Amino acid sequence: MFESFIVPFRTVLASVLMCVVHSVFAAPFEDSMAQRTLACTGCHGAQGRAGPDGYYPRLAGKPQAYLYNQLLNLREGRRHYAPMQALLAPLPDAYLHDIAHYFSQLQVPYPAPSTPGVDAALLRRGRQLAQEGDPALGLPACAQCHGRSLTGTLPQVPGLLGLPRDYLNAQLGAWRTHQRQAHAPDCMAEVAQALQAQDVAAVTHWLASQPVPAHAAPQAQPTPWPQGVTPRRCGTAPVPAAVTALPQGKDAQVQQGAYLARLGNCASCHTAQGGALYAGQRPIETPFGVVYSSNLTSDASTGIGAWSSEDFWQALHHGRSRDGRLLSPAFPYTSFSRMTREDSDALLAFLKTVPAVVQPQRPHALAWPFGSQAALRVWRALYFSPQTYVPDTARSAAWNRGAYLVQGVGHCGECHTPRNALGGSTGEALSGARMPVGNWWAPSLRDAAAAGTPAGQRDATVRLLLSGMADHGQASGPMAEVVQGGTQYLRPDDAQALAEYLESLVPQGVVAPAPRGTTLSASQHAEGEALYRKHCADCHGTAGEGVAGAYPALAGSRAVQSAQPNNLIYTVLHGGFAPVTQRNPRPFGMPPFVLTLSDAQVARVLSYVRQSWGNQARGVDEAQVTLARNQRGR
């Protein structure tokens, strides 16, 4: 139930559909990894023991390198499970490594093995495959890699005992159908492809029926391969690198360009999932189809290594590529046009230091005629002309700097300004809008009751932009990506300048009337309160007071009382983490409730929160939750 702000038009939120049991944290708050990983243990069971339904596997005690590899595989799409993929999408390698280390150190009891309901012959075949293999089929024994006791092998091979049969079946099936992959060479894919269907049933039945040995632990060293047998090689992920710092020892222009690239969050759109930094081909959904980002590395043939400063200025200021083609406005040149030529040249100077990656432009997949040059000419005639930021001489230098950052490189208006059906900005700038794809709401930056900066609240805005956290909210949903990839790197003077400008947008001394809505009946209030105490109170407090630095307060929250509850609904359904920032490197996670609570229950608990502890907002209708669930946070 966190405050959500919205990112540029190009940013798309993947759906997070994930199961969670009722609240698993009932002890007083503690600043620990156990607290931070509640979003994981909601499905995988307390302390990562395994989920109760036989599908979510055990995490506790598995080798750290294995857990880390799987987190990477899920985040980068080599394993296909949308709920996990979306949950992990904003988390950097270093935090995934910390999560893997935490679960690898937990030593908790295993569940009792299942009773096999199959004949003895099938179990014998399963035991043979697990302990001896089948040379005729080219199958090594499971024990060859997973340890003689099948409890895993350090540093990165997991144990096979203590896992539900449904999970084992699902994973072998995923490898056989290429829905699960690993870093090359993918040895498990080779093994799974060689297994026959009846052998999958045999080995999973046998493994699930075996007790876990007392004091089970991964084997310290790999088992030597038999003489004359060619060992299978398995890929692994690299150790996570530290967060890339701004270039050191470079000239001032390159350093300025690197800073601008961060503020514009360029890497977010120009880096594909699991791909090389700035190499492009990230799919960006629009109402008219999919646009694929371009390669910004220094490669001369497929990147911008051969571009001149005039070529780059033409793209940013005029929305034209080097060859004169009109660019799709999914690339927000409508805002970048306001950048100065000096900043354009600095940005190019930095991008030419990015290591070259050969990756051609992938053709866009836009519905006709929206991708045509003719359609783009019409659109530009209606909605675009090159802009130049003109300082307001009646304002301070700081105010003008903030205005320039918001209107130009920060391109905040690409989301916070209303658009019409053709994608043109038509309303008052920064007055709030629904995201063009999906149903997230970019709140008004001009309204103190929405996301505006009231007088005297600049420090709160600065804190949110730099850390992603505020007393009554945190950046979540798409805005988490903006903070994580961009605003956390604001220099102190720029952060203050930006806050000064945003404060000036809000009419001072104007108090918005409290929204009027249907008051909950006594029975509805009691139902909402019961749901809140069961699922929310352990983290957000019995009176919505929250925990400073971890869980935002709900009492008095503008996000909770927003006239548009879209973001609140999405947050409850899909959960997630606050952005990972220099000031908050290991944020706390919120479990998703999409499979735990019905639409009616989500509406009831949110209505309770929006009308309790002094909050005064309209209740949430079940139909609104149904719409959000069907939109799936696209």
Q: Is residue 340 part of a domain?
A: yes
Residues 360 and 304 in one domain: yes
Chain centroid to Cα 43, Å, comes to 18
Residue 402 CB-half CA count within 13 A: 21
Give the residue from 350, 348, 289, 287 showing the smallest Cα distance to 322.
Answer: 348
Q: Which token pair is 43?
A: 């499905």
Q: Is residue 190 part of a domain?
A: yes
Residues 284 and 225 in one domain: no
Between CA 492 and CA 462 the distance in angstroms is 9
Cβ-based neighbour number of residue 574 at 10 Å = 27
How many separate domains does the chain show?
2
Residues 99 and 235 in one domain: yes
Residues 212 and 281 in one domain: no
Residues 272 and 323 in one domain: yes
Q: Is residue 344 part of a domain?
A: yes
Residues 228 and 328 in one domain: no
Confidence at residue 495, expressed as pLDDT on a 0 to 100 scale:
97
Cβ–Cβ under 8 Å, residues 562 and 441: yes
Helices (H), 147-194: 165-176, 187-194
Cβ-based neighbour number of residue 112 at 10 Å = 9
> Which domain covers residue 278, as residue numbers?
266-383
Residues 311 and 179 in one domain: no
Confidence at residue 372, expressed as pLDDT on a 0 to 100 scale:
95
Domain boundary among 383, 401, 434: 383
Residues 215 and 292 in one domain: no
User: Residues for the chain: how many in total?
Assistant: 634
Place of tokens 């203590």: 162
Place of tokens 């896992």: 163
End-to-end CA distance of the chain: 19
Residues 231 and 351 in one domain: no
Cβ–Cβ under 8 Å, residues 55 and 165: no
Confidence at residue 518, expressed as pLDDT on a 0 to 100 scale:
66
The pTM score is 0.82
Cβ-based neighbour number of residue 547 at 10 Å = 15
Cα distances (angstroms) measured from residue 81 to each of 17, 45, 90, 508, 534: 9, 18, 16, 48, 28
Domain boundary among 361, 383, 405: 383
* Three-state secondary structure call for residue 310: helix
Between CA 453 and CA 288 the distance in angstroms is 34
Between CA 182 and CA 494 the distance in angstroms is 42
Confidence at residue 164, expressed as pLDDT on a 0 to 100 scale:
86
pLDDT in tens, 414-428: 999 999 999 999 889
Between CA 573 and CA 629 the distance in angstroms is 8
Q: Is residue 523 part of a domain?
A: no
Q: Which token pair is 139?
A: 């199958």
Residues 229 and 108 in one domain: yes
State which residues of the chain have pLDDT below 70: 1-28, 237-250, 509-518, 632-634
Cβ–Cβ under 8 Å, residues 76 and 63: no
Cβ–Cβ under 8 Å, residues 133 and 141: yes
Residues 212 and 325 in one domain: no
Q: Is residue 573 part of a domain?
A: no
Give the long-range contacts of residues 509-513, CB within 8 A, separation 24 or more: 510/448, 511/448, 512/447, 512/448, 512/449
Q: What is the CATH number of the domain that holds 224?
A: 1.10.760.10
Q: Is residue 572 part of a domain?
A: no
Residue 552, preceding bond cis, omega within 30 degrees?
Answer: no
